[in-house]
Homo-oligomer: A and B are copies of this chain.
Amino acid sequence: MKTIDFWFSIGSTYTYLTVLRLRNLFNQKNIQINYYPFSVRTVMKEMDNIPFPPSKKSKVDYMWRDIQRRSELYKIPIPNVPVPYPIKDLDLANRIAVVGIEEGWCLNYLEATYRRWFLDFSLAGSDENILSTCKEINLDYKYILNTANSSEIKYKYKNLTNLAKDIGIFGSPTFVVGKEIFWGDDRLEDAIDWLGKP
């Protein structure tokens, strides 16, 4: 079975598009996903990269409109924009995803937490979002919070972030096929096509 490494940071806006179309797309194409959460904020700080600051108003406005148009294209729910941004606890949101990988519910979590953020305006990583997401996908909120805050998960998350930097990943979402890196939701099809190369 063919495999794509999916590197992501909950907190990234464009990752909404990928998360909500991933399940159907990969089922159709019979592709397996490896999940790699990392701290895009850490990586970007080291590059002095602030993707959507207030000084870039045109770019920010464009980004939201682009996400709406792309949602329509993918037939996923079209968010009202602007969606509240940035999120406050990016690291917690992503450490929960690390727990999800080990326990097999990572994609369920990604879908639920992004839906709540983008469609209900409840910030990913917030108490409210985590609580209702846990309820939806049948997880014990206190257990999840304790595990996501454990030193073991923090250590794994830090290692994933370092690994991202080592590979040359600088944004979310990123797809890796062999040695090829594809950055951006709009390169997912390119990554899938690359799987078919000899």
Contacts and interface: CB of A to CB of B under 8 A. Distances in A.
Interface of A: 47-49, 53, 55-56, 58-59, 61-62, 65-66, 69, 73, 165, 168-171, 180-183, 186-187, 190
Contact of A55 (B47, B55, B168): B47
A186 B186 contact: yes
A169 B57 CA distance: 10
B56 A49 contact: yes
22 contacts: A47-B55, A47-B56, A47-B59, A48-B53, A48-B55, A49-B59, A56-B170, A58-B168, A58-B169, A59-B170, A59-B171, A61-B168, A62-B170, A62-B183, A65-B181, A66-B182, A66-B183, A66-B187, A69-B180, A69-B190, A186-B186, A186-B187
A181 B73 CA distance: 16
Contacts of A65: 180-181
A-B complex: 3 closest residue pairs judged by Cβ atoms: A58-B168, A58-B170, A47-B56
A70 to B, nearest CB: 8
Contacts of A171: 59
A95 to B, nearest CB: 23
A153 B182 CA distance: 40
A190 B73 contact: yes
A62 B180 CA distance: 9
A55 B45 CA distance: 10
